[in-house]
Amino acid sequence: MKVKSTIYKGIEYVQINTLPKEQMDSLMKTINRELLIKILIDDKLVGNCLQFKDYESWFDLVYSSDKPTMTKAVKEKEKMLEAEPVSL
| pLDDT, tens only, 19-28 | 999 999 999 9
What does R_g of the chain's alpha carbons equal in angstroms?
20
Three-class DSSP category at 37: strand
**Model confidence pLDDT, tens digit, residues 23-77:** 999 999 999 999 999 999 999 999 999 999 999 999 999 998 766 554 555 556 5
16 close to 49: Cβ distance less than 8 angstroms: yes
Q: Is the pLDDT of residue 87 over 90?
A: no
pLDDT value of position 72 = 55
Q: Is the pTM of this model over 0.85?
A: no
